[in-house]
Each structure stands twice: as structure tokens, then as C-alpha cells.
Amino acid sequence: MSIAADKVVSIEYTLTDDDGEVLDTSVGDAPLVYLHGAENIVAGLEQALEGKSAGDEIEVVVEPEDGYGEYLAELVSTVDRDAFEGVDELEVGMEFQAEAPDGETQIVTVAAVDGNEVTIDANHPLAGLRLNFKVKVIDIRDATEDELAHGHPHGDDDHEH
């Protein structure tokens, strides 16, 4: 069976930056399981996996536009400390949910704290980076009707939603 739309795919992967630093890996842990064609993984990796079979191993470089996008300076802003009501300690690297201008929920990261001013960054932490993947295809199967309806795979212990 080959990887194509509406297949549930299990992969083992290691993601590195251009300097070879490991940013994420599933090696030694459970494989990543995703629904192919449902935008569960970055577009560049999904495209590279199309047509592959269980046992195949690939190395792929994903440019920012096919990964987490370019880094956008306009997604960095400074807000008043009062915007973090109920949070006693603010530290660089903390993540919060915020409402985006379009009304959607987005994750923002505290980039700096200077007195009463807090710099937040709504870029994905990997925005602007070239992503280097080493991937091994572990398994491929047909998605169930529920998985197709929900847009993601379900495991044995998945809850109702």
C-alpha cells in the first residue's frame, strides 16, 4: 500500500535545523500517526511522503514556505503587563492562547519582559527555518469513516469528540 490521501500513516522521524541540531524526534518513542491529505503535518513533508510505502526511508528538506511559513516581524508586538491578569511570574518562553485579529485562537510566546512591557511573538517557533527531516515509514492503512469525518487518526484509547 502506498501513501495517498485518506490513508493513516505512521512514521518515525527526526527533525533537525541546518546546523544539525535535533529540534524534534519520535525515535525511541511512539511513531507519529497522521491522516495523509488532512494537513496534519507540514505541506512539504506530506508532499515528499506521497507514494511512499512501509519501510521506505527518506531525507527531505522543507523550505519555510512549505513548513511553518516565513518569520513575520508584524506578528511581534508589545503589550502591557496587565494583559496577563492572574499570572504572577512572566518568563521568556512562556506560551499563552490569545485571540487573533480574525477571531481565531493563536499561541503567542513571551519574547521579552521589560518592566510593565511584555513583547509577544505569534510566529510559530519554527517559522522561517528550513526543516531537515529523516523519516522512516512504519505503517500505512485505510482511514476509518470517523477518522475521515474528524480529519485526524484515532488511536485505540481515543476519546469521543
Q: Is this model's pTM higher than 0.85 or not? A: no
Which pLDDT band holds residue 156 (cuts at 50, 70, 90)? low
Helix (H) or strand (E) holding 11: strand 7-16
Residue type, 127: A
What's the CA gap between 22 and 15, in Å, rounded? Answer: 6
Q: What proportion of the chain, given as a percentage, has pLDDT over 90?
A: 87
| Span 85-112, pLDDT tens digits | 889 899 999 999 988 888 889 899 999 9
Helix (H) or strand (E) holding 145: helix 145-150
What's the CA gap between 118 and 78, in Å, rounded? Answer: 5
Other Cβ atoms less than 10 A from the Cβ of 148: the count is 17
Query: φ and ψ at 64, to 5 degrees?
Result: -50, -40
Residue owning grid cell 485571540: 99
What's the CA gap between 28 and 84, in Å, rounded? Answer: 37
What's the CA gap between 77 and 97, in Å, rounded? Answer: 15
What's the CA gap between 16 and 94, in Å, rounded? Answer: 23
Domains of the chain: residue spans and CATH: 7-68+126-150 (3.10.50.40), 73-121 (2.40.10.330)
| Span 28-51, pLDDT tens digits | 999 999 999 999 999 999 999 999
